[in-house]
Structure 1
Amino acid sequence: MWKTYSKIAWRNLKKGKRVTLINIFGLTLGITAAFLLFTVVSYELSYDTFQTNADRIYRVVTQDDYSDGTAYNPGVSPPMPDALKEDLSGLEALVPVVNSSVNVSTEQAVTNTGENNFIIEDAFFTTSDYATLFDMEVLAGNLALLNEPGQVVLTVTEAKKLFGTLENAFGKSVLLSKRVEATVGAIVADIPVNSNFQFNMLVSYKTLQSNEDVFDYHFDEWGSFGSDFQLYLLLAESSSADQINQQLRNFAEKNYKDRGTSKKSFYLQAMPDIHFDSRFEPINGEMIRKATIYTLGLIGIFILIMASINFVNLSTAQAIGKSKEIGIRKVMGGSRLQVIGQSFGETFLVVIISAIISTITATVLLPYLSEVAEVPDSIRLVTPSFLLFSTLIILGVTLLSGFYPALILSGFQPIQALKNKIQVAQIGGVSLRRGLVVMQFVIAQVLMIATVVAVKQMTEIQDADLGFSKQAVYYIDIPTDEAKDGRLDVLKQRLKSNAQIKSVSVSNDVPSSANNWASNFWFDGIRESVQFPTSLKYADADYFDTYGLEFVAGGSFSESDTLKEAVINETMAKKLNLTNAEEAIGKTITIGGSEPWMRITGVVKDFAQNSLREEIKPFIIATEKANYELLGVKLDKNAGKETLATIEEEFKNIYPEAIYSGTFWDESIASFYRRENQLALVYKIFAVLSIVISSIGLYGLISFLVGQKLKEIGIRKVLGASISQITFLLSKEFILLVFIAFAIAVPVGYYLTDQWLQNFTYQTNVPVVLYVLVILVSLLITSATVGYRAVKAALGNPVDSLADE
């Protein structure tokens, strides 16, 4: 029986080739989109799920409540890990993890590169208990050595980079920051890409503790909180997060009650939340908002619904043509259940063909997926979870697409079917199909609105006045792990003498970055902390010219190697309740509630210290040569590759033992919005896709209507109706459907885009003209799709439609 049904289903599909191909095309678009979105979403949801103890691992995070707001920090202060060991119970392990960039020198050069000096990004200072929390494959050595000073663990990739082979690496000596001797005590496999704990090297925590000055971490500074100094806990089976949180509240009360200007609190963040909580960035890895995951999932569901709606419209449009076949089948003894089975069989066959084509298409498109999502090049499409998902998709789409056509076809009465007397009312009428098309256009228009808003927001951010000049600024990492011996000044002067270089500055950071270095401070001679913190940057006097910072009062400070004078921003002046910016000039300020007092020489126009998602913070810029880590170079507009080569040559002449690393600042700023730009691209792609699918849906509905109005069209033509009149008759109601969809889509689209814009302090205005653009595009698509089918019907010979009357 099933063999017979399959043959009949295949013959029916071949008989209606045009509709079959349209159905397959529409479903293939929808299923391909669903497959690719599933790959992205499942990858994002897989972060660190492979960790055996994922459900018992927590991070201790910090919250500062100020009088005017709340600040969040994923880190703790250096003394806290040891102090918490004494205060917390119910733990199996307490593990500090400090992420840092470390200079590593080997005794011999790597044979294939000739190098023996490397910068290792993401070196984790930690204890042997790190292996208790996080899964690692040990290939050589013993991780217990991390409890001893002078021990390091390398990943496979890093071991080969430093020593050429694993055999050469194990047991070898290295020099950290050119002053600390260490031994490679173990080698581990590379960390999976879907982890927020990506490291290249582990260094024993005692190495950090015994070399505070070298690595610039001080274990007596209770007020120092950095995002790179983090603490992880493994809870005992019998413990709960609530119990530990209560102990952390007690700890904060005991150690931080009257310390600083904020009310500090500490609490646990579950490991599964680390990848999704935008308040606390991961120690090293990607972060994505859950709202983005939900958005991608909804887009996939909507695209599938739209594709299924098309199938329903086109299948029911064919129903009248199948009426005689159904009548004969019933006269010959076929039951309604058999007709339903036959109808579902045809649907299932179309869905299977579409799913196979979709799998091939998704595989071909997979290499381009990294353009719209943070997925690795090695990501695979076909996995056990994908096979389960694709099975559910096939069954779900078959049920969603086939249920209504099967119900309608199986309900035909044999006599009416054989006499070709099936009426519109008997196949559900047009109202349902109109409603389905309205739903399609609502989805399409919401995606169009989202696309327009996202593109406008990101365009304006990229063109926004950030308060500085980001163009033609090139910055270079400079050595920081050795005593300042005057070479930096020599390098700066040599570069300034180049005609293609307009300005050169040294600092600890560029004006706008992901860094958030903050402190309490005293103001105007009053030895009491102001009730809000200040962000900090250390720079020389050329900093303002190099990065194009504008003064609204006063000017730059004089050159100095130590804290002497300072510049603040407009927000700082306002929050200090000064009447105007000029009033700040000459007043004194000090960082951290200690000497020396610095004289304020100027107030700069507010600039975006971080991304435009964040509000402008009060700021202090001061001189302190010991903290300088970057050299910024303002290039002339005519500077080219030769100038960059000259900069590198001068750097290597001055620092022959150092590693050269340069970056254009505008590229660094662009990386702030990588996720948002990718999401905007996703909106563009799926807006176009929804338009295509909507057009197929319109074609299905107009085909259905034309099938029901053939005799009416023939009679009108016989009575003298023109082609334009008939076209207008068939097209006018679709214009109304577009406007109905638009009325629904506008408030939905406005709400969703408004929620997305809340992620930014700087938000674009959405003028009415953008909504008008959406309705115009919808009308244009409708006119083109409906007009083609309507004109074709109007050009038909009336004799053919009236022959049986």
Structure 2
Amino acid sequence: MWNTYSKIAWRNLKKGKRVTLINIFGLTLGITAAFLLFTVVSYELSFDNFQSNSDSIYRIVTQDEYSDGISHNPGVSPPMPEALKDDLTGVETLVPVVNSSIFVSIDNAVTNSGENNFIVEDAFFTESGYTRLFDLEVLAGDLDALDDPGQVVLTETEAKKLFGTWENAFGKSIMLAKRVEATVAAVVADIPDNSNFRFNMLASYQTLKSNKEVFGYDFEEWGSFGSNFQLYALIPESPESANVSQVDQQLLAFAEKNYKDRGTSKKSFFLQAMQEIHFDNRFDPISGEMIRKATIYTLALIGVFILIMASINFVNLSTAQAIGKSKEVGIRKVMGGSRLQVIGQSFGETFIIVLISALISTLAATVLLPYLSKVAEVPETIKLITPSFLLFSIAIILGVTFLSGLYPAIILSGFQPIQALKNKIQVAQIGGVSLRRSLVVMQFAIAQILMIATVIAVKQMTEIQNADLGFSKEAVYYFDIPSDEDKDGRIDVLKQRLQGNSQIKTVSVSSDVPSSNNNWGSNFWFDGKREDVQFMTSLKYGDADYFENYGLQFAAGVGFSESDTLKEAVINETMAKKLNLGSPEEAIGKTITIGGGEPWMTITGVVKDFAQNSLRDEVKPFIIATEKSQYGVLGLKLDKNAGKETLASIEEEFKSIYPDAIYSGTFWDESIANFYQRENQLALVYKIFAVLSIVISSIGLYGLISFLVGQKLKEIGIRKVLGASIPQITFLLSKEFIYLVFIAFVIAVPLGYYLTDQWLQNFSYQTSVPISLYVLVIAVSLLITAATVGFRAVKAALSNPVDSLTDE
């Protein structure tokens, strides 16, 4: 029986080739999109799920409550790991993890590569307890060595980079930060890409503690909180262990004990589940990137939308085809066929089309997979065919078959045999006009929502890229420089040499560029009052050329004079306002001190507010001061005629003064653009799928208008004989769809506005949404409808009426 059904289904599909091809093409587009979006969403949701303790690992994070708001920090203070080991009960393992970039030197005789200096990014200082929390595949050595000073563990890739092969690395000596000797105690396999704990090196925590002057950590400073100094706990679900709420209560008691009446904020600590680290935008992961769950939901929703649109095409065309199958259904029922058999036959045809579409989609997704990293934060090596993908494919095939085939099957199976055999099945009996109208409205509503989202996202990102950030980012080039550890003045020498280059306008050394992802903060005293102001200040340190080099503008006063130590300071407008000063000019001459102690600095100027981070964040109160010991970045304003030769000469000067250092320069505008990489990718996704939704809608419209024209050939012929013009006939066939587009627009506007408004809430700077945007969307929708429907309508209007009236 099933063999017979299959043959009949295949013959029916071959007989209606045009509709079959339209259905396959539309479903292929929808399913391909769903496959690619599923690959991205499943990758993002898989972060660190491969860890066997993923449900039991927690990060201890910090919350500061100020009078004007709440701030969050993923890190803790250096004394806390030891103190919490004594205060917390019921926690199986407590492990500090400190992320750092480390300058590594090795012996040329070991590498034979001519290169013996390297920067190791994402080097974690930790203890052997790290291996009880996280799964690591050991290739050589013993991870228990992490409890001893001077021991490191390398990943396979990092070992190959340093020693040629990972086998050569085991047992070798390396130098950390030029002053700390260490031994490669073990080599482990690389950490998978879908992890927020990707490291290149593990170094023993005791190495950090015993060389605190080298690495810059004070393990007795309770007030120092760095985002890279983190603490993790293993709390398995067992009767012997404390549950999460009990540990949170202990952390609150710890904060009350150690931080009551300390500083300007109410400090508290709580547990953050490892499964939330990749999605919680309050706290950055220790390595890798985070993504908002709203972004994942958006991608999944777009995939659902596209599949619904493709299924709507199928339903519309299949119900339209039902009249042509009425006699077949009538004969089948007269011969004893049941309604269930007709439903089975209809579902069989749908299944074949969906299966063919899914197979083509798998091939198309495989071809497109290498380009997926352009629109999403996924590795280029990501795989399509996985066990979860196969399950998803089966679900898609069955789901789309059911969604697309249910209504046509019910319609076909409901035909009365006598009416079907006499060819008296009317359009109203195959679901009526109302159903198809509703489905077309749904399609265009989805397409218009995506168009609205696309236009707003593109407008937002364009305005951000062109926004006045409060500084000049063009032609600014910067790179890291080693600090003057021995006060040898090499920073000054390098600056003087670069100032002599005619292609370089200005040069400045500082702790950081004005706008970056780095955030330093501190409590402070103001105007001679020896008490903390009730909010924190952000900090940057720079020389006297800092303001001119980066194009910072003054609202009052001037920049400070050159100094190697804290002497004078500049604040921003937000700081002046939060200090309740009547105007920026009132700040000039007042004194301020960082950290609640000497020295007091005189405020010489107030700069206009500038974007210290991305435009997602609000402008914070800010202090810029001189402190040469904090300088680690050199920035240059290049002449417009500067080219590769200028960059090469900069590197040459750097190498001549710092022959053992690693040089890596970056243009500042490129760094700023990286702030919005995910948003730009999402805007690109909107563009792609808005176009795709339009294509799918147009396919459905063309198929549907073709069917309706076929049903009205005699009417068209009669109207032409009676004198109707081509424009009149075209309007007659098109007007219904134009009305439907307007109805879809009324539905799409509030939904599109709500969804995009939620997305814009992620930015402190938000674009306006003018009425012209919605006018553009409806105009484009009408233009597409007119082009799609009009083409087929004009073709019908131009046909010879004799052919349609004599055809029986």
Which TM bucket (shorter chain)?
A: over 0.9
Q: CA deviation at 1:70?
A: 0.8
Equivalent-residue separation in structure 1 for 2:309 and 2:104 (angstroms): 56
Counterpart check, 1:428 vs 2:431: yes
Counterpart of 2:652 in structure 1 is 649
Deviations 1:643-684 (A, max 9, x none): 000000000000111111111111111110000000000000
Equivalent-residue separation in structure 2 for 1:114 and 1:319 (angstroms): 76
Counterpart of 1:486 in structure 2 is 489
Equivalent-residue separation in structure 1 for 2:409 and 2:593 (angstroms): 79
Q: Which of the numbers 750, 768, 771 marks the counterpart of 2:753?
A: 750
Counterpart of 2:214 in structure 1 is 214
**Aligned-partner residue type, residue 38 of structure 1:** F
**Aligned-partner residue type, residue 360 of structure 1:** L
**Aligned-partner residue type, residue 174 of structure 1:** I
Q: Which of the numbers 687, 711, 718 marks the counterpart of 2:690?
A: 687
Counterpart of 1:551 in structure 2 is 554
Q: How many residues align?
A: 805
Counterpart check, 1:253 vs 2:234: no
Counterpart of 1:60 in structure 2 is 60
Counterpart check, 1:382 vs 2:385: yes
Counterpart of 1:191 in structure 2 is 191
Q: In structure 1, the residue corresponding to 2:675 is in which secondary structure? A: helix
8 A Cα contact 1:430 1:705, kept in partner: no
Equivalent-residue separation in structure 2 for 1:188 and 1:84 (angstroms): 29
**How large is the RMSD of aligned CA atoms in angstroms?**
1.2
Q: Which of the numbers 739, 744, 755 marks the counterpart of 1:736?
A: 739
Q: In structure 1, the residue corresponding to 2:653 is in which secondary structure? A: helix
Q: In structure 2, the residue corresponding to 1:430 is in which secondary structure? A: helix
Counterpart check, 1:606 vs 2:575: no
**Aligned-partner residue type, residue 442 of structure 1:** A
Q: In structure 1, the residue corresponding to 2:432 is in which secondary structure? A: coil
8 A Cα contact 2:111 2:162, kept in partner: no
Q: Which of the numbers 558, 564, 568 marks the counterpart of 1:565?
A: 568
**Aligned-partner residue type, residue 289 of structure 1:** R
**Aligned-partner residue type, residue 357 of structure 1:** I
Q: Which of the numbers 775, 779, 791 marks the counterpart of 2:778?
A: 775
Q: CA deviation at 1:112?
A: 5.8
Q: In structure 2, the residue corresponding to 1:54 is in which secondary structure? A: coil
Q: In structure 2, the residue corresponding to 1:509 is in which secondary structure? A: coil
Counterpart of 1:145 in structure 2 is 145
Q: Which of the numbers 786, 794, 797 marks the counterpart of 1:794?
A: 797
1:44-59 aligned at under 5 Å gives the runs: 44-59=44-59
Counterpart check, 1:344 vs 2:347: yes
Q: CA deviation at 1:330?
A: 2.1
Equivalent-residue separation in structure 2 for 1:446 and 1:620 (angstroms): 44
Counterpart of 2:7 in structure 1 is 7
Equivalent-residue separation in structure 2 for 1:729 and 1:338 (angstroms): 39
8 A Cα contact 1:155 1:189, kept in partner: yes
1:421-460 aligned at under 5 Å gives the runs: 421-460=424-463
Counterpart check, 1:391 vs 2:394: yes
Q: 5+ unaligned residues in a row in structure 2: which ranges?
A: none
Q: In structure 1, the residue corresponding to 2:525 is in which secondary structure? A: strand
1:473-622 aligned at under 5 Å gives the runs: 473-480=476-483, 482-622=485-625
Counterpart check, 1:658 vs 2:661: yes
**Aligned-partner residue type, residue 63 of structure 2:** Q
Q: In structure 2, the residue corresponding to 1:319 is in which secondary structure? A: helix
1:297-316 aligned at under 5 Å gives the runs: 297-316=300-319
Equivalent-residue separation in structure 2 for 1:40 and 1:481 (angstroms): 45
8 A Cα contact 1:554 1:585, kept in partner: yes
8 A Cα contact 1:569 1:604, kept in partner: yes
8 A Cα contact 1:434 1:701, kept in partner: no
**Aligned-partner residue type, residue 786 of structure 1:** V
Pair 1:198–1:109, CA change in 2 (3 A): farther
Equivalent-residue separation in structure 2 for 1:196 and 1:69 (angstroms): 28
Percent of residue pairs identical: 82
Equivalent-residue separation in structure 1 for 2:791 and 2:321 (angstroms): 19
Equivalent-residue separation in structure 2 for 1:731 and 1:113 (angstroms): 73
Equivalent-residue separation in structure 2 for 1:329 and 1:235 (angstroms): 66
Deviations 1:203-262 (A, max 9, x none): 111111111110011111111111000010001433211011000000010111100001
8 A Cα contact 2:484 2:629, kept in partner: no
8 A Cα contact 2:346 2:409, kept in partner: yes
> After TM superposition, where is structure 1 displaced by more than 6 Å over at least 4 residues in a row?
none
1:108-147 aligned at under 5 Å gives the runs: 108=108, 111=111, 113-147=113-147
1:6-405 aligned at under 5 Å gives the runs: 6-108=6-108, 111=111, 113-238=113-238, 239-405=242-408
Deviations 1:411-464 (A, max 9, x none): 122222222111122111111000000000010000000000000000000000
Q: Which of the numbers 625, 633, 637 marks the counterpart of 2:636?
A: 633
8 A Cα contact 1:110 1:162, kept in partner: no
8 A Cα contact 1:109 1:115, kept in partner: no
Q: CA deviation at 1:709?
A: 2.9
Equivalent-residue separation in structure 2 for 1:74 and 1:123 (angstroms): 17
Deviations 1:472-513 (A, max 9, x none): 111111113833311111010000000000011111111000
8 A Cα contact 1:475 1:630, kept in partner: yes
Using structure 1 for the length normalisation, give the TM-score.
0.99
Pair 1:795–1:203, CA change in 2 (3 A): same
Q: CA deviation at 1:720?
A: 2.1
Equivalent-residue separation in structure 2 for 1:123 and 1:240 (angstroms): 31
**Worse-matched range after superposition: 318-327 or 399-408:** 318-327
Equivalent-residue separation in structure 2 for 1:103 and 1:91 (angstroms): 35
1:759-774 aligned at under 5 Å gives the runs: 759-774=762-777
Q: In structure 2, the residue corresponding to 1:222 is in which secondary structure? A: coil
**Aligned-partner residue type, residue 477 of structure 1:** D
Deviations 1:364-404 (A, max 9, x none): 00000000000001100000000000000000000111111
**Aligned-partner residue type, residue 637 of structure 1:** K
Deviations 1:502-526 (A, max 9, x none): 0111111110001111000000000
Deviations 1:137-191 (A, max 9, x none): 0111111111111111111111111111223211111111011111111111111
Q: In structure 2, the residue corresponding to 1:51 is in which secondary structure? A: coil
Equivalent-residue separation in structure 2 for 1:715 and 1:629 (angstroms): 85
Equivalent-residue separation in structure 2 for 1:716 and 1:30 (angstroms): 39
**Worse-matched range after superposition: 302-311 or 656-665:** 656-665
Equivalent-residue separation in structure 1 for 2:400 and 2:660 (angstroms): 63
Using structure 2 for the length normalisation, give the TM-score.
0.98
8 A Cα contact 1:102 1:121, kept in partner: yes
Q: CA deviation at 1:718?
A: 2.8
Counterpart of 2:699 in structure 1 is 696
Equivalent-residue separation in structure 2 for 1:454 and 1:675 (angstroms): 12
Equivalent-residue separation in structure 2 for 1:96 and 1:426 (angstroms): 71
Q: CA deviation at 1:799?
A: 4.3
Q: In structure 1, the residue corresponding to 2:376 is in which secondary structure? A: coil
Counterpart of 2:420 in structure 1 is 417
Q: CA deviation at 1:84?
A: 0.5
Deviations 1:293-350 (A, max 9, x none): 0000010001000000000111111111122222222222222222111111111110
8 A Cα contact 1:327 1:414, kept in partner: yes
8 A Cα contact 1:177 1:481, kept in partner: no
Q: In structure 1, the residue corresponding to 2:687 is in which secondary structure? A: helix
Q: In structure 2, the residue corresponding to 1:495 is in which secondary structure? A: helix
8 A Cα contact 2:320 2:430, kept in partner: no
Equivalent-residue separation in structure 2 for 1:603 and 1:113 (angstroms): 51
Q: 5+ unaligned residues in a row in structure 1: which ranges?
A: none
**Aligned-partner residue type, residue 140 of structure 1:** A
